[in-house]
Amino acid sequence: MKILDQNAGMLTNFEVVNLLRSRGATIDLLGSLGVVSASECKVYSFLADSASCNQTRECIGEFLKRCDKFKLSKTELLNIINLRPSSQPLIYPLIRNCDTRLAKNEDEGIDEVQELVDLVKEVLPLPPANNPDNEVEVKTTEIQQEMQDDKMTETN
């Protein structure tokens, strides 16, 4: 990989996953041996378990458009997209002076921090490990594997 323009901009984890996929990276290091480096496979393996592997350009674009009213910096938006915070305590460290910049008016029922958390939950997809559909598939596979192991033990 060759850097054409240093500091051209920051990348989301979604963009890194797409780049690594296009280069042939896989979770299995041996499966992509010679195509990409081992470090690229390790990065891909890490990001494959994050929310970024389920994101799309459309959901990120929608999220950015709907975040305009919060007046967040590019870095703050990037961190929110990459980390997908799903509760208020996880938002506060990502936004500088969060309590003063995002309104909280209980009289009017406005809580911009909670509104931002709700937006993240609504627009940005869950990581694979937290996806209920994926959990069912994983549990089914685990049960099938246990049944096969039991059969192997019985035959021996």
How many domains does the structure of the chain reveal?
A: 2
Indicate whether 48 and 78 sit together in one domain: no
How many Å apart are CA 47 and CA 40, to the nearest integer?
A: 11
The full DSSP string for 134-151 is: HHHHHHHHHHHHHHHHHH
pLDDT at 136: 39
Looking at the domain assignment, is residue 141 inside a domain?
Answer: no
Environment class of 44 (CB within 10 Å of its CB; exposed 0-12, middle 13-18, buried 19+) = buried
Indicate whether 80 and 116 sit together in one domain: yes
The helix/strand/coil state of 112 is helix
Q: Which residues contact 58 (CB under 8 A, 6 or more apart)?
A: none
pLDDT tens digits, 15-55:
999 888 888 887 776 665 567 788 888 888 888 888 888 89
Indicate whether 46 and 86 sit together in one domain: no
Q: What is the pTM of this model?
A: 0.71
pLDDT at 34: 65
pLDDT tens digits, 62-105:
999 999 999 999 999 999 999 999 999 999 999 999 888 887 76
